[in-house]
Amino acid sequence: MTLTNRAVIVIIGGGIAAYKSLDLIRRLKKRGAGVRVILTEAATAFVTPLSVSALSGNRALLRLLDAESEPDSGHIRLAYSSDLIVVAPATADLMARMATGRADDLATAVLLAATCPILIAPAMNPAMWQHPATQRNFWRLMDDGVEAVGPNSGAMAEPEQGVGRMAEPPEIVAAAENLLKSRSALLAGKKVLVTAGPTYEAIDPVRFLGNRSSGKQGYAIARAAAAAGADVTLVSGPTALADPRDVRVDRVESAREMLAAVLAALPVDIAVFCAAVADWRVDVESDHKIKKTGESPPVFTLVENPDILSTVAHLEENRPKIVVGFAAETDYVLKHAREKLLKKGCDFILANDVSPERGIMGGDNNSIHVVTAEGVTDWPLMAKDDVARHLVAYLAEYRVKD
């Protein structure tokens, strides 16, 4: 029981979903957690401090500069003495304030001072959820190491359907338990190397060969490994993503630069090759912009790039104890993954179907088949962050064969 005797702060934001937070408090208590509840000012319009106090067994906390608790910096003490903070509902406004590091009420001050894991359960109108500002704030929070559960799709308070419904209390409790488990230093003392993103192979100073990889899956793995206590190096091709917290990031462009950065990061215990490395580059890169001549278009000869995963997996010296590959396939997914496992010499492959209709590349979800020499295990469709946490748990249990 991961929640037993854990100090959990529930922060309730001002949204209609706040009524579900009362059930959440009850369920957390039932699992043995000690629960303190902070209500934002807007939240008090939806639930009363009295019902929160009655359910949690502790006085509801409302104000930052509360005369009773602040003489000894109550909000800092509160933040330090907690094992987990759950923000439910995390409204668009509360997420925006968290993402910009505001600390002008008790909820945001505690969140800013906290060093424990933070789980948010976003809830808002679908248009607000999809707004670029909210999406920006959400991903900023993910980069800062915050974890999320939901939002789900379904009927909303408004006569509208869409994504924005707060996750149900049992889902939030399960996510809280998983989060505490995954943060229990599963990879403490391990050095982990992750490659992520695409590579760009220059044709001339302005053009390149590349691919559609967003880097999200690799960044999520780096984040999850760091959260599990590993010393993580992320070698990343060009992406639009911010550096994850507590991760050493080495940004490169081409496959050859990526190989050099990877070799420089060795020795490590575990290497996860998530990058979508460009298979080819032009044999001769032009040092000036190639101009149209009005005659026949240029013809390029392609040469194969080094295979980074295969190079590392076949090293005589410094081979990481566990080498993990990905296989991005559009057909015969498992057959191709098995072939790659043998050819590249890695310990296991996470295979995914990247046909455009599956929306994996650039999307937020991933559907993984773990292919080992012994067989195949299917993981259900899940968010890339959950794939990352699953992988961390899998790596922590993985026994290297002699």
**Which residues are known catalytic residues?**
211
Number of residues in contact with ligand CTP under rule CB under 6 A: 17
Residues sharing a CB contact under 8 Å with residue 209, sequence separation 6 or more, in sequence order: 200, 201, 203, 278, 280, 281, 282
Q: Does 273 bind ligand CTP (CB under 6 A)?
A: yes
> What CA–CA distance (Å, rounded) separates 306 from 240?
25
Binding letters toward ligand CTP, positions 194-213, x by CB under 6 A: -x------------------
For residue 65, the 8-state DSSP code is: T
Find the binder of ligand CTP among 220, 308, 323, 392 (CB under 6 A).
Answer: 308
Interface residue with ligand CTP, options 246, 279, 339, 364 (CB under 6 A)? 279
Helix, strand, or coil here: 119?
A: strand
Is residue 307 close enough to count as binding ligand CTP by CB under 6 A? yes
Least distance (Å) from ligand CTP to the CB of residue 341?
A: 10
Shortest Å, Cβ 387 to ligand CTP: 14
Contact segment (CB under 6 A) with ligand CTP among 15-23, 94-102, 173-181, 271-279 equals 271-279
Question: 21 vs 305, which CB is nearer to ligand CTP?
Answer: 305
Nearest approach, Cβ of residue 353 and ligand CTP (Å) = 11
Q: Are 308 and 318 in contact (CB under 8 A)?
A: no
Asked if 14 interacts with ligand CTP (CB under 6 A), we say no
For ligand CTP, which is the closer residue by CB, 83 or 307? 307
User: Do the Cβ atoms of 339 and 359 come closer than 8 Å?
Assistant: no
Q: Which tokens is 254 given?
A: 């081409």
Among 27-35, 46-54, 269-277, 287-295, which window interacts with ligand CTP (CB under 6 A)? 269-277
Helix (H) or strand (E) holding 212: none
Binding mask 228-267 for ligand CTP (x = CB under 6 A): ---------------------------x------------
Category of 325 on φ-ψ map: left (φ > 0), alpha (ψ -120 to 50) or beta: beta
Residues 22-81 touching ligand CTP, rule: CB under 6 A, are none
Least distance to ligand CTP from the beta carbon of 271, Å?
Answer: 10
Q: How many Cβ atoms from other residues are within 10 Å of residue 273's Cβ?
A: 27
For residue 25, give both structure tokens.
């408090």
Cα separation, 365 vs 211, in Å, equals: 18
Binders of ligand CTP among residues 314 to 353 (CB under 6 A) are: 325-328, 340
* Neighbour tally for 225: CB within 10 Å: 31
- Rounded Cα–Cα distance for residues 111 and 101 (Å): 9
Structure tokens at 240: 């639009």
Residues at the site binding ligand CTP, with contacts judged by CB under 6 A: 195, 255, 273-277, 279, 305, 307-309, 325-328, 340
